[in-house]
Structure 1
Amino acid sequence: MSDFHNWLLEKAELNNFIYVKRLSANDTGATRSHQVGLYMPRSIIDKLFPSINHIDKSNPSLLFTAHVSSHDCPDSQVRVTYYNNRATGGTRNEKRITRWGGKASPLQNPDNTGALAILAFSFKDQAEDCSNVDIWVCVNPDEEEVIESAMGEILPGTYLFGPASEIVGGLSLQHESVRGKYTLPDAWKQQFPSGSDIIRYATDHFTKDSDDPDEQLIDRRRVEYDIFLLVEEMHVLDVILKGFGSVDDFVALANSVSNRRKSRAGKSLELHLEHLFIEHGLRHFATQAVTEGNKKPDFLFPSSEAYHNAAYPEEKLRMLAVKTTCKDRWRQILNEADKIRQVHLFTLQEGVSVAQYKEMQEAGVKLVVPSSLHKKYPEPVRNDLMTLGAFIAEVTGLYVDLP
């Protein structure tokens, strides 16, 4: 871990811009899409490579060096291109970065689907374009914990971009622009609301009208996260702008922000699911019930009493683990309920490799994934995925009274 810490600190001290995201199946090539390669928004490419933003010639491009510090692989010459033929009657008007190194690069290894990737772009002297990028792809949950403790939860499908000193410093307030306009209760200015308070308020005031639990989960979590970011800004922005009287004051605030972000990341998804279960008529479940060896699965169906009742039919028991991302973490759930042979795992991860999924199947893990994310999984995997709505319907139909 010291190598990773040192790498982060080094990037924070230099003139770097950092881009952080979780690798999707399309990024790594797990979906075998024809546009395989790390996706970066056009606005970021404009910031890093302004010299290609013109139509004076067809498809202007430039090369820069990509080095990977987390893995042993050769440097590559990466190309950024502005495909601009729409200006001359064509159809393309997009910017893409290609030639990351193929399967030799951890960015394009399907088994790294879901991993956190940190790209540090640097500039030489006063050059207007980025000259090179240094890459770290996290190899285990411990490394990801270091990143998310400082920066907050990096959700699948989102990204973080900005000056390295601000992001690594731990007080970068917003991952991206909040996408809605929200009126917050005055009481929240005095005291930071609980996760349940934010979820209830978001659901009652700002989420769209839908009866589909898969759509509701995605929409509500987006709105809840937007509101969380606004409340966080309301509580700490003035303090940051005023500056700090000492290093201890800075560390105290950074730790407070970090702890709050970790607490929210650890409970938000479970709270949303709990609300949706009840809303859709699934009322027989237990949270954090104790099983063998003092294990505590996220959700146990229909109850702790049923699980520990030898006369209750085992085929009607279910367990649902909840992981925002399941790469590596899925193994943590295998022994949480010994009486249940096939365990269900709810995740928001944007795809897994076919090899990863086969491992999960062999271990008795069934993935539950919101329907809108199914297309982000490789085709051989999609038919085996379960929607949240289907899971709720199945478990509701299984319930029987205790013997």
Structure 2
Amino acid sequence: MTSLSQWIEDKNQDEWWIFIKRLSANDTGLTGGNGVGIYVPKAVVAKALPSISSTCCLNPDCSLTARITSHGLPEQTLRGIYYNNRHFEGSGSRNEHRLTRWNTDFRNSPAQDPENTGALAIFAFHVPHLGRDSDFLDIWICKGLEEEEFVESKIGEVIPGSSLFERGDRLFAGFAAGLDKEPSHVAIPPVWEDRFPTGEEIIAYLPTVFRFGKTMPDDLIIERRDNEYKLFRQIEELHILHRVQQGFSSVDEFMQAANSVSNRRKSRSGRSLEIHLEHLFRQFGLEQFSSQCRTEGNKRPDFIFPSCADYHDPAYPEENLRMLAVKTTCKDRWRQVLNEAKRVEQIHLFTLQEGVSPHQFAEMKDENVKLVVPKPLHTKYPDEVRGQLMTLNDFIVEAKDIR
């Protein structure tokens, strides 16, 4: 952990711009799609590689010296490219930026390893002169849960499909916000101007200010989470933005504000997904469940069906019991749920992770873990895995049928 800590400390400066994401199956080449290499949002390219952010020519590119420090690899030359053929009639429909040629200077790059699907990756672009391309890219791909938790303790949870991008001295202070979600601009209760609402309050308030166009739980869980985050961002800016804009009179004052933001974000992410699921269970007629039920010892699985009382009733048939664990990402975390309910033979695990490798999926099956994934995310899984995933709607229907 010392090496990661020192690496982050070295990047905690104004000349480093930090892009953080979880590697998707498309990033690592697991799904075999048209995309090659790591997807990079437009906002990152505009700051770190502005020379390729152009539609004056077809697929502009540049070279970039890089190093994956986390794995002790030597420097290599990557290619930054803007696949922009959508802007050229008859050329295609692509409109995305990627970092490619990971396996050109040497083979088996961890950035293209399917087993790293879902891993937390930090891309640090050295930008000594704004308006010019980065002269160096330093990369850290977390090698396990301990490293990921260390990073997220500083910046908050990194949700699959989202990303963070900010100057190093700001991001590692906990002030960075997601690239892909702007704050909402809806009416909020006046009391929230003086008191930051709880996660339950924010989620319960969503239907009063947002119109949800989806009708199935698999789509709704994603739509509701997106809108919750936008509302959270709006409330957060109301409480903290003016302090950031005014500046701080001391380092202690800055750290106090940064810790407050970071702790609030971590608190939100810890329970948000479970609260959304509780609301959706009831909305779709699944009333019989217990959350945070104590099973054996200090074990507390996220959900037990049909109830905690049934779980502790020796006469209740074990084949009718269900357990649903909830993990935003399941890589390196799925093993944590294996012994949470001894009476339940098959564990259901709900996740938002965008793909797992066939090898990791086989390990889950061997341990009787069944993945429950929102249907819109199924296409992000490899073909041999996709047909064995369970949708959220399927799980709700099954749990409702328990007698």
Q: 1:85 to 1:191 in 2, by over 3 A?
A: closer
- Any conservation in 2 of the 1:53–1:82 contact (CA below 8 Å)? yes
Gaps of 5+ in 2: none
* Separation (CA, whole Å) in 2 of partners of 1:325 and 1:56: 39
2:39 alignment partner, SS class: coil
> Which residue of structure 2 lines up, in the alignment, with residue 73 of structure 1?
73
Match of 2:102 among 78, 100, 103: 100
Give yes or no for the alignment of 1:397 onto 2:391. Answer: no
Q: Report the equivalent of 1:6.
A: 6
Superposition deviation, residue 53 in structure 1? 4.3
Q: Contact 1:342–1:365 (CA<8 Å) still a contact in 2?
A: yes
Find the counterpart in structure 2 of residue 298 from structure 1.
Answer: 302
Deviation at 1:176, TM superposition (A): 4.0
- What is the aligned counterpart of 1:336 among 327, 331, 340? 340
2:175 pairs, out of 164, 171, 178, with 171
Out of 151, 154, 164, the position equivalent to 1:150 is 154
* Contact 1:49 1:130 (C-alpha < 8 Å) held by counterparts: yes
CA distance in 1: counterparts of 2:253 and 2:391, whole angstroms: 46
CA contact (8 A) 2:173 2:255 kept: no
Give the distance between the partners of 2:127 and 2:260, measured in 1 at CA. Answer: 33
User: What CA distance in whole angstroms lies between the structure 2 residues aligned with 1:180 and 1:153?
Assistant: 20
Matched, 1:135 2:139: yes
Cα contact 1:149–1:261 (8 A) shared by 2? no
What is the Cα deviation at residue 203 of structure 1? 2.6
1:27-46 matches, within 5 Å, as 27-46=27-46
2-side partners of 1:302 and 1:59: how far apart? 55
In the alignment, the residues of structure 2 paired with residue 369 and residue 71 of structure 1 have an alpha-carbon distance, to the nearest angstrom, of 31
After superposition, residues 300-319 of structure 1 pair within 5 angstroms as: 300-319=304-323
Q: Distance in 1 between matches of 2:202 and 2:275?
A: 11
* 8 Å CA contact 2:47, 2:131 repeated in 1: no
**Deviations, residues 303-330 of structure 1 (Å, cap 9, x unaligned):** 1111111110100000000000000000
1:145, 1:100 → 2: CA distance? 26
Q: Do the aligned partners of residues 391 and 138 (structure 1) sit closer, same or farther apart at CA in structure 2, a change above 3 Å counting?
A: same
Q: Give, in angstroms, the shift of residue 142 of structure 1.
A: 2.4
Checking the alignment, whether the CA contact within 8 Å between 2:60 and 2:83 is kept in structure 1 is yes
Aligned partner of 1:186 in structure 2 is 190
Alignment of 1:192-341 (within 5 A): 192-341=196-345
Q: Is the 8 A contact 1:150 1:171 kept in 2?
A: no
C-alpha change, 1:312 and 1:172, in structure 2 (3 Å) is same
Q: CA deviation at 1:244?
A: 2.3
TM-score normalised by structure 1 residue count: 0.93
Alignment match, 1:48: 48
CA distance in 1, matches of 2:130, 2:239: 37
Decide which moves more: 37-46 or 124-133: 124-133
Supply the AA of the counterpart residue of 2:260: S
Alignment RMSD (CA, Å): 2.0
Secondary structure class of the residue paired with 1:339:
coil
Go from structure 1 to structure 2 and tell me whether the alpha carbon gap of 1:398 and 1:11 turns closer, same or farther (over 3 Å shift). Answer: same
The separation in 2 between residues aligned to 1:365 and 1:68, in whole angstroms, is 33
Code of the residue aligned with 1:194 in structure 2: it is T
CA distances 1:173-206 after superposition (whole Å, capped 9, x unpaired): 4544416432222111010011111001113320
Q: CA 1:55–1:366 in structure 2 vs 1: closer, same or farther (change >3 Å)?
A: closer
Give the secondary-structure state (helix, strand or coil) at the position aligned to 2:356.
coil
How far off is 1:267 after superposition? 0.2
Task: Give the deviation of 1:69 after TM superposition.
Answer: 1.1
Q: TM-score, normalised by structure 2?
A: 0.93
Return the letter of the residue paired with 1:170.
Answer: G
1:364 and 2:368 aligned: yes
Number of residue equivalences: 399
Q: Distance in 2 between matches of 1:126 and 1:252?
A: 29
Q: Does the 8 Å contact 2:69/2:138 carry over to 1?
A: yes
Number of the residue aligned with 1:61: 61
Q: 1:42 to 1:244 in 2, by over 3 A?
A: closer
CA distance in 2, matches of 1:57, 1:395: 55
Contact 2:37 2:98 in 1 (8 A): no
More deviation, 326-335/129-138:
129-138
Counterparts of 1:368 and 1:288 in 2: how far apart (Å)?
Answer: 19
Secondary structure at 1:27's aligned position in 2? coil
Displacement, 1:50? 2.2
